[in-house]
């Protein structure tokens, strides 16, 4: 069995990409930590004070910003060579005839 290939070095991200990610994550975090933004009761929406619907809107906005940051920072995985015939990570052998059956 051949030894596993060493992990490929990931290319460095552009500074502009890292700056965009930092700004988006800062907006997401500061939106919930900076209390003077949402520490009020007016305007009301559907009988709920501003505080509650601001927090309810902030959750999907924050998750969308985190998802965009993930997409900007992820790296593409390389496929293995055709000689192995596999594209994903190798799995450890399961409990089968090689390890014996449980009794």
CA atoms within 13 A on the CB side of 40: 8
Q: What is the pLDDT of residues 8-66, one digit of tens each?
A: 666 677 888 889 999 999 999 998 888 888 877 788 778 888 888 888 889 999 999 99
- Residues near 86 by beta carbon (within 8 Å), at least 6 away in sequence: 80
Domain range list for the chain? 23-73
DSSP output for 82-99: TTT---SPPPPP-SSTTT
pLDDT in tens, 70-97: 998 887 665 655 555 555 556 666 655 5
**Hey, what are 64's tokens?**
């969308």
């Amino acid at each position: 069995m051949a030894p596993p290939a060493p992990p490929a070095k990931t290319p460095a991200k552009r500074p502009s990409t890292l700056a965009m990610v930092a700004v988006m994550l800062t907006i997401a975090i500061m939106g919930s930590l900076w209390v003077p933004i949402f520490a009020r009761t007016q305007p009301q929406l559907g009988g709920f004070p501003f505080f509650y619907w601001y927090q309810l809107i902030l959750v999907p906005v924050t998750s969308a910003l985190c998802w965009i940051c993930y997409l900007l920072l992820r790296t593409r995985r390389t496929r293995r060579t055709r000689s192995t015939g596999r594209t994903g990570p190798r799995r450890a052998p399961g409990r089968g005839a090689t390890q014996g059956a449980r009794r």
